[in-house]
Amino acid sequence: MASNNGNGKSLESWIWEAACSIRGAKDAPKYKDYILPLIFTKRLCDVFDDELNRIAAEVGSRNKAFQLVKADHKLVRFYLPLLPDDPEEPVWSVIRKLSDRIGDSITTHMRAIAKENPLLQGIIDRVDFNATTHGQRDLDDDRLSNLIEAISTKRLGLDDVEADIIGKSYEYLIRKFAEGGGQSAGEFYTPPEVGTIMSRVLQPEPGMEIYDPTCGSGGLLVKCEIAMEESARGRMRTIAPLKLFGQEYTPETWAMANMNMIIHDMEGQIEIGDTFKNPKFRNKQGKLRTFDRVVANPMWNQDWFTESDYDNDEFDRFPAGAGFPGKSSADWGWVQHIHASLNNLGRAAIVLDTGAASRGSGNAGTNKEKSVRKWFVDNDIIESVLYLPENLFYNTTAPGIVLFLNKDKEIEKEGRVLLVNASRIFEKGDPKNFIPDEGIKQIVDTLINWKEEEKLSRIVEHAELKKSDYNISPSRYIHTGETETYRPIPEIVKELKAIEEEARETDEALRNILKQLGVDV
């Protein structure tokens, strides 16, 4: 992943040191909304310079090249209205030479760039570099100047660094922000090895349409494009890029996803808004648009959706027999949205809380979450379930699972589910564990080829899943044998809360029926 450019320092080291130039590593994550757009703009400036130089070589001078692209913006991918005093100087020098009212000037330049490039509107012009809190500048001009100077030390043009290298470095920076981002990190970042496993197992083909309804910074979509290109490498034909689609709720994260797409030199359509209540991707009939592949890591155990959100759905996402999974967790609500977003041959990979695989199983009576799981098992839509190692994710130490759906299972897979317990395949890291490259290959190979291996994977018949009350957790069926596995206490507490909530709802329904019958309660 490391790439050197100019001063011998890896691009990753440089990009992190630039971020730390504001207030050090501890506070760098607080300033990601300033840092990411500036590094992104440096890339735009240097690429624009390369395009100007190419044109100048044909027409005789940079001055003429500036005039040509000003007259016809189509000559370049992004037109930057930044003209140095000397046309021979780099375009970035307009920003680097700022010495007075730096925050105000950068904000003005960013807005001018966005005005000339509709694709960048709302992406780089949403940040006010002159913003204040209680009369105090959030990022004063001295620190802003330090950041600009640190970013200026490396060139990020077409000949200096390939799109995938700057893209990987950009993702590295996002990961470093996630390390210091606490509980909010999981809202925009999925560990890269988890994304790599998901994308390789889904085996996206050239030209396919890929969708992420909770796309965060866009990492899972990027991983799908990379997996497709790696798989297609060496084929004697032109590779059609994937068509990438995502929706993100948080405006700052939406902007981050768009920058991530562009800096990877990938074109994706990223919409903004609440996917659950207002999915933006629809067909001409107003129904949900469907895709070849879906990848997602929705926020776990969202509890702010009510039964009416499911009952009033206009998109046929929540079928009879499944539907409302209970108030305490929308995990299986997201699975239903994703299932409805797949075409007839579609496949999906979804990261969920570990408890989503087992909550409600073994309890007396019915359980809403278990009922939705039952629907997915009985309709033979679940292809496999991967149990991950613990402490991979930045906002929790819980292991998490990856649920793989397939609406067109091969005959030999019908009526069965592959369960993989990868809880032991990790290495200790700081601050988080990680899955090494060999572990990624082992897990992917197991999932793609449906291989059974002792203490790792099992193919389980539906009859056995039904016998276990629709518990689909790999840890229930595959014991690693090292130590007794205890469920995390927070998971048990969540399950107890879900049971209590269902009991309250049942009591309320019974009271209403008795009142209607005239019985005093």
Concatenate the DSSP letters of all residues of 65-131 into one string. HHHHHHH-GGGSSS------SSTTS-TTHHHHT--SSHHHHHHHHHHHHHHH-GGGTTTTSS--TT-
b/e per residue, 463-484, with b = 16+ CB within 10 A? eebeebebbbbbbbbbeeeeee
Cα-to-chain-centroid distance, residue 496: 30
Instruction: Give the Å distances, CA to CA, from 332 to 125, 172, 298.
Output: 36, 31, 10
Where in the sequence of the chain do the CATH 3.40.50.150 domains occur?
181-485
Please identify which residue in the block is written with the tokens 């913003």: 131
CA distance 27 to 161: 28
CA distance 341 to 211: 8
pLDDT, position 504: 72
Q: What is the residue-wise DSSP string for 275-294? A: TTTS---B-TTSSB--EEEE
pLDDT, position 46: 96
pLDDT, position 384: 98
Tell me which residue of 461, 425, 462 sits closest to 445, measured CA to CA: 425
CATH class of 11-173: mainly alpha
Are the C-beta atoms of residues 206 and 243 closer than 8 Å to each other? no
CA distance 390 to 401: 10
In terms of C-beta density within 10 A (0-12 exposed, 13-18 middle, 19 or more buried), how is residue 48 classed? buried
Are the C-beta atoms of residues 113 and 80 closer than 8 Å to each other? yes
Whole-prediction pTM value? 0.88
Ranges of the chain with pLDDT below 70: 1-9, 25, 181-187, 234-238, 364-365, 481-495, 498-500, 502-503, 506, 520-521
CA distance 399 to 27: 28
pLDDT, position 484: 45
Cα-to-chain-centroid distance, residue 383: 22
CATH topology of domain 181-485: Rossmann fold (3.40.50)
Cβ-Cβ contacts under 8 Å for 189 (sequence gap 6 or more): 174, 175, 177, 178, 181, 216, 217, 219, 394
Four-CA torsion 28, 31, 33, 34, nearest 10 degrees: -110
- Determine if the peptide bond prior to 431 is cis (ω within 30°): yes
* 141 DSSP assignment: H
pLDDT one-digit tens code per residue, 457-499 = 999 999 999 999 999 999 999 987 654 455 566 666 666 776 6
Residue 374, φ and ψ in degrees, nearest 5: -55, -45
pLDDT, position 187: 67
Where in the sequence of the chain do the CATH 1.20.1260.30 domains occur?
11-173
pLDDT one-digit tens code per residue, 337-394 = 999 999 999 999 999 999 999 998 877 667 899 999 999 999 999 999 999 999 999 8
Cβ-Cβ contacts under 8 Å for 358 (sequence gap 6 or more): 471, 472, 473, 476
Dihedral sign of CA atoms 271, 275, 277, 282 in order: positive
Please identify which residue in the block is written with the tokens 């001063």: 7
